[in-house]
Each structure stands twice: as C-alpha cells, then as structure tokens.
Structure 1
C-alpha cells in the first residue's frame, strides 16, 4: 500500500511520519530542531536537519512504499534562497532583531486587515525577517531568487521548484492579507514581489524527488513532492476533507488556536488574540489564539490529573477562579501579563489544583469561541482533550452547538497527508470523533459569567 511521508517542522522538534492515504499514522520519527547561536544571528541548523530528513526518508522507505512527500510547519519560518539552497541562515523566530529595525518595522507593518495578526515578539513575522536581511546583508538579499516559507523551502530542496502557498503566507507573515486574498502593501512598498514566487495550492505536486536524493533515500524517482501547508491549516483541512462545514476547530497545546469557516467578523478590526489565516482554497479563516497550554501549566504546577467531577463541583460551588495572565504575554486580556492570580476559598487546596487549571484553560478556550461567529459544529483536539472533562466543560458552555472531541494526537500530520489525495478524493475522508460525556457536571454557565465579570474590563465579548 502506498504511503505519504509528512515532514512536520515545529519550533522545538521535528517529526517525520509515514501515513496512509487516509492520514492514519503508520510510523513516526522525531528529533530536536537544533538552533545555533550564530553567527550572524541565532538560527536553525538547516544542513543538519536536511541530513536527518534524508536519513529518515531512507529509513521509512525500507518499510513503506512512499508515494508522496509533504512538509508542514509553524508560520514563523522562512528562508532566503538562491538557485539551489539557502543564501542566509534561517532566523530563529525568537531572536530579537536590532532595536531600531524593530521600531521601524512597527511603523511600516500596516493595518490589522493586512497583517492578519498582532505585532508579535522577536522575529515571528516573515516580513520582519526580510527587512532584517535586506538591511543587514543587502548583497545577499539583492541576489536572492526567492524568500520561501518553511514548507515551501523544503519542497524546493526536495524537488527544485520554488513556489508560494496561501496558508503559509497568511499565517502571521505580514506578506499576505488573508482577508483580501492579496499581497500586503508592504510587499509593494519594499519591492519584495520579485522574491515571492507564484502561488500554488498546498495539495499540488510541484515535481518529483531530485534523482540524486531519490537514489540516496532508496525511493522511487516518481515520488511526488507537494507544495506544503501551514500546520494549523493542515489540521483544519483534516475536518474539511471529512465533509464538515459551519465549523470551528479548537486545537490545544502550548497555544490554544481556534479557527472557523464562518464569516460575519470584521477582519479590519484588531482585537486581542484575533487572527486571520487561510484555508487550502485561499478563503479567509478567522481565528483566535492564546497561550492556554502555558497558562494551564502555570496553574497546575506539579499537580497531576486527571481532573474530577467532584473537584469541579467544589470549585464551581465555591466560585474559586484562576484569572489571567500568568505568563509574559497578555493573551486575550490586555494589561494582564504576569498578573495572574487564583482567588476563592479553594485557592490553596492542592487537591483541586489540576481540575482548576483545566477549568481555567477551558475558560480561555471558551473566550476564544465567544470572539468568533457561532458555528453549528465545534471540534476540540490536541493535548488538553486527553482529560475527558475538558471537552465536557466546553460542551456544557456551548449548548447550542454540536461539540465533538477528536483524541487523535496527529491532526497536523493527518491533514497534511490527506493533501496527497485531494484531487482524487470522491467522498469524505474518514474521521473518528466522539461526543463528550457531560454527566455529573455542575451548572457551568453562571460560573462562566462570574469569571468573565472578574476579567472585566479587558474582555468585551458578549
């Protein structure tokens, strides 16, 4: 049976999967995503990562008939390339650029409608990376062939074809307005259009694996290389491929990311946590994001689960609350960074701390939902759904929606793999979801209102 190889590039770790055409994971390899301190700045070790990728393809190819390769990644990685490879090292997006350049960038970045995200820290935006490279290494920048988002960089290395792709550019790059489906004015103002190759769909085959690489990996010379996709959009595509619509997906991990296919939101208006991504067809995908996983960890501390209905009932009855924000980021509530607190009679009770942390994370996820248009179906996935109460709490707080939980931990890989069969698919892709068990839950809506009142005046959603 033919398999799809998915190269999933995270900030901290990289993974290489062999999957079925339906997105089921057959095998997984992983490694740290190595960062070098410099020179000329802190950067990812692309050469070492390339060696690891090729060795991994050779390893998986011994046990699986790999028919296609697709890369997916976070939205803050980009590489300046020449005719064959990188001209400059790939900037670590947590690396701060020079202070004067950062200030200049803030003044030129444009409106929220163009940016589709807040101005984030470090070098999180591809446009900010491009400005740094242009100013710091003008000769390399002037001689470059393209600046490629990370999935398309790896496609370029694998098959030699340079391409742009909408989900990657619409993910906080500040090079593409997801709301308008067009490059931002910053691209024209800086003359960067020459470095952005024509857009190709995420699912399109750009070419076949380079002959020397195919021989090195022991793979067929006909192995297809797909254009590639942003990781959150890949996860969202998994549900689109399964035939779901009128949909909001809440993915949980270090970040809580909520994406919806619903319209009706003013994408010209900036709000805390608001974003605008794109789906594989280039349609705007309004979203919300907050570092809910880190907030959860800050509250739970050393306490371990599972959360219990008994502890939840005690917390709700006592109106004990965790309030934002414990981390250095304001998240959904401007002005709250490092002001997080736990209040109420059970604030010092370690026996309820894990359940309180899970409830707090669910409050943050529900705030994300309230900041988006209501949808008929809500799907929850990611790390927090390992605890059954997380999905149950969100279902109780959203009684007018069909709330489903997906416990598959490989959503990004599954969605990326499904791209390989996009043009041939004649029916919905298989999807295993379940409805959460809400039996034994207390009435959570009054608690939600109380929590929201305590978060005032930062939160303005109804």
Structure 2
C-alpha cells in the first residue's frame, strides 16, 4: 500500500466476541484493547446480531483511542457467513446468526436447488454457513421485505460501509463457502430460483487493506482529531491470517487458523484436489489465488467436552481411544467404534486427551488437502502445548498467536 499508518484501529468481529484493538504497526505494539460479547438477539423475526450495540461499542472505543493521539486508519475483520440485506443504505432485515436452527426446516428445499460442489467449491455445511441458505430462507419467509433489497453486503463490507459510506465487495469472503461464487466461471452464481440478480446487487470488488475512503462525518465528530482516519477494505479473519505466508513464501506452506473453528489452508500447492472429499473446499485468498482448505469445529469441541462434569472415576485406556474426524463432528470412540462418553474421562486428563485427538484430526486434514511445508499457526491453539507437540513432526515454525494482526499489518506494508 502507498500510505503510512502510525496508529491503526482493528475492529475484530468474531462469532463469540468483538474487539477493538489500537495498534502502532511500526513498533509492533498493542496500545489499547476493548472487547464485548458479539451478542445474538432472540427478538424479531429470527436470531440476529446486536448491530446497534456493536455500533455503540465501536464509537466508544474510537473516542477512547483518539484521546491518546490521532487515529490514521481503521480496518474491519469479521467471521464468515454473514450478509447484510440493504435498502436505501440501511438494513432491510437484521443480519442473521448463521446458527439459526430455523434454517433446518428449509434445508431439504435448499439442497434441491443448490449447485454442485464443483461449482461452489464446498460441500453442504450446516444451517446458515452458506450465505445461499440464508438468502433462500429469507426469500421464502420474508419475500415482501426482500423485494425492497437493493444491495447485498458481506459482513466485513457492511461495517466498512457504515464507517465510510462506500459500498464494496471482497473476493476472499465472496468465495468462502458462500454458495454465491461460481468457481468454474469466476463470477457470481446465477440464482434464478431465488429471484436474485447477484451481479446487480453486489457492489464492486475492493481488495482487503485498500483505502476506500475517510471515516464519514457523522462519526468523525466523536473523535478528537482534525483529519479523518482512512477506512481500509475489510476482510475475512481466517483469510487475512494467510497474508504473511502468502507474501513471504513461494514454496508450499501450511497455515492453521484456530479458534471456534480449526481451519487448515494449503498455500502454494502444485495442484488443486481433483475430487473434493467431504469437508474439503476451495476458496480464494485476498489476492484471488486458489487455496485448498478444510475446517472443523475444534475449539467448540474442546470447550464442550472439556467442561463436562465428571460422571465417575472410570477412565478408558487412552491407547484404545482414537479420534474419528469428519467435517461435521469429532468424537471419541473405543477400539470397536463405540462412542465413549467424554464425561467418563477425569477432568484433569480430558483437556490433554482432547487436544491430542484434535491434533491428530488436524494432521489428517492436512494430508487430505495436500498441505505441506512449514506450519504457521495463529489463535488459541498456538498456546496449547499438547496440541503443538502432537503436530511438531510437521515442522511448526511459528506459533505466536497473532496471525490476524500480522496479516493486516503485512497488507499495509505490501
């Protein structure tokens, strides 16, 4: 990028928590951080995110951060599977929580019209993890309001639009298990069955990290500075974490982005998988390059099972427990394939055992997509010593847990 950023604010919107981070990139220094839950509201037509609460949170953090000095730029990073249906510059419908169970009721109908994996780049995922599934449900349950929609914004771009007033799209988000991108034609999918003209509804593409305009006047009034901060094009958290490895390597590299999901990315591979087995997918990185990847809910599995109360002192022989992995679930089984209740494992052993099982699942996932070379890992599993030890034979070179921040700041230096 052709501009200098001394003080950068990152709005990091995860599925569980929202953070505002004030950074000094050239000093590699985090100056201040604020956080709050990314609350899901249950009122209204369906579960949705607390957008007003997040707006107040952003404004409050910007006010506080600007008191210690001027803010040069603001960049947004969000979790996947979020889309904003807009009308005349405002939300026409609340932004849906992709875990909304009501989507199960229309799953069969959506499956009947969904494009093949060779077109979408991903197999069917649960509930609203495909934006196409969310739009299908909305068109069938709130058609009159959806008729008023004149623009669709991916979740990072909704927030950059709110900050800047400039509507954009972003290629990595568009291609990440959305069911809206056609990998055979390199363009948006035609969705006549949903009565949606995607090319007309989607704004132009802008690369993550690009200066798309200044902070709009209505928000500048809260800051104690004369010049407005630049608003940089937002992106998907998992793909932004890939940027340092993409820009700094030409040889094959494996990137693990960990949290609620463990996402495995194979960079600079010689060829794409010819047959996408279940759980594997193809997406595009922020620069439009193909990236084979695979993901499973490792963090959620670890949190769910490690926190279960103990039922007894019985402990299965850990040598006879193996991890069974697929894209939808992970669980423990004995040598006969029978499920083992994790609550039977003493709590002091459970975290280590589960971490080991998830490391094995990660290794199998890497093999499945042909990932090789040094491993760069970010997120909470970068501090899990048992997990790291189990994949150490795969040459873990970097486990500093700061992939998102490193990715964003590496973009600014490119």
- TM-score normalised by structure 2 residue count: 0.85
Structure 2 match to 1:442: none
C-alpha distance after superposition, 1:374-428 (max 9, x if no partner): 42222233212313342232122x3xxx4313223x3223323443x24xx4xxx
Of the candidates 395, 400, 403, which is equivalent to residue 407 of structure 1? 400
C-alpha distance in structure 2 between counterparts of 1:76 and 1:387, whole Å? 27
8 Å contact from structure 1 (residues 97, 123) kept in 2: no
Superposed, 1:18-417 pairs within 5 Å as 18-21=22-25, 24-97=29-102, 101-177=106-182, 181-186=186-191, 190-243=196-249, 245-264=251-270, 266-267=272-273, 269-297=275-303, 300-301=306-307, 319-324=319-324, 329-330=328-329, 340-341=339-340, 352-396=349-393, 398=394, 402-408=395-401, 410-417=402-409
Q: Give the secondary-structure state (helix, strand or coil) at the position aligned to 2:152.
A: strand
C-alpha distance in structure 1 between counterparts of 2:219 and 2:102, whole Å? 35
Query: Structure 1, unaligned stretches of length 5 or more?
Result: 304-314, 426-462
Pair 1:175–1:271, CA change in 2 (3 A): same
Mean Cα displacement is larger for which, 14-23 or 35-44? 14-23
C-alpha distance after superposition, 1:201-255 (max 9, x if no partner): 1121111110121112334443111121101001111333445742111222222
C-alpha distance after superposition, 1:70-108 (max 9, x if no partner): 111111111111232211111111113455633221112
The CA RMSD over aligned residues, in Å, is 3.0
User: Which consecutive aligned stretches of 4+ in structure 1 deviate over 6 angstroms post-superposition?
Assistant: none
Pair 1:204–1:349, CA change in 2 (3 A): closer
- TM-score normalised by structure 1 residue count: 0.77
Q: Give the secondary-structure state (helix, strand or coil) at the position aligned to 1:66.
A: coil
8 Å contact from structure 2 (residues 73, 229) kept in 1: yes
C-alpha distance in structure 2 between counterparts of 1:61 and 1:153, whole Å? 23
Aligned residues, how many?
Answer: 396
Pair 1:87–1:369, CA change in 2 (3 A): same
Q: Give the secondary-structure state (helix, strand or coil) at the position aligned to 1:319.
A: helix
Structure 1 match to 2:10: 6
Q: Give the secondary-structure state (helix, strand or coil) at the position aligned to 1:129.
A: helix
C-alpha distance in structure 2 between counterparts of 1:33 and 1:339, whole Å? 37
8 Å contact from structure 1 (residues 297, 357) kept in 2: no
Note the C-alpha offset of 1:263.
3.3
C-alpha distance in structure 2 between counterparts of 1:297 and 1:290, whole Å? 14
8 Å contact from structure 1 (residues 299, 322) kept in 2: no
Note the C-alpha offset of 1:328.
11
C-alpha distance in structure 1 between counterparts of 2:263 and 2:257, whole Å? 5
8 Å contact from structure 2 (residues 266, 291) kept in 1: yes
8 Å contact from structure 2 (residues 83, 95) kept in 1: yes
C-alpha distance in structure 2 between counterparts of 1:274 and 1:219, whole Å? 47
C-alpha distance in structure 1 between counterparts of 2:230 and 2:156, whole Å? 15
8 Å contact from structure 2 (residues 282, 293) kept in 1: yes
8 Å contact from structure 1 (residues 3, 21) kept in 2: yes
8 Å contact from structure 2 (residues 117, 123) kept in 1: yes
8 Å contact from structure 1 (residues 127, 175) kept in 2: yes
